[in-house]
Amino acid sequence: MTTQATSRPQLFDELDRCREWIEAALEYSGGTHDWYDIVQGVLEGRFQLWPAENGCIVTEVLTYPRKRIINVFLGGGEIDDLIELHSPVIEWAKQQGCTAATINGRAGWERKYRDLGWKPMHRTIVKEFET
């Protein structure tokens, strides 16, 4: 389910149900958003909420001069549930004219840089696809 196919009361219910996962993911966002930013973005249609049974992701469509992508910038919950969202998200993105997807997320410890004071914040992975 995305925000495009959901009534406003259902959307509020889903946001509330997913709040714990969203807020946990926000802890690793580098301070770019808070809970209220996510709620406002989803309600305005700038962000898309993709709830699963035991988790959710939040996406945004980014338009660059030469490319349009869907960016998964928040996710939390059971990884298997999130993986099940892959196909519907990619299909929806293609319908929006996107030609790629990125995921920003926590990379975990990077042993090589730990002693130098580095701490991971995000890792971006990309999947190119044809429309």
> What domain count does the chain have?
1
Q: Two tokens at 117?
A: 């004071």
Residue 72 has, within 13 A of its CA and on its CB side, a CA count of 27
> CA 50, CA 92: separation in Å to the nearest integer?
11
Residue 128's pLDDT band, with cuts at 50, 70 and 90, is confident
pTM score, whole prediction: 0.81
pLDDT digits (tens, 9 = 90+) for 54-85: 999 999 999 999 999 999 899 999 888 988 89
Residue range of the domain that includes 88: 3-128
CATH of the domain at 26: 3.40.630
Helix axis angle, 8-26 relative to 35-44, nearest 10°?
A: 140
Measured in degrees and rounded to the nearest 5, phi and psi for residue 37 equal: -60, -40
Per-residue pLDDT, averaged over 42-63, amounts to 96
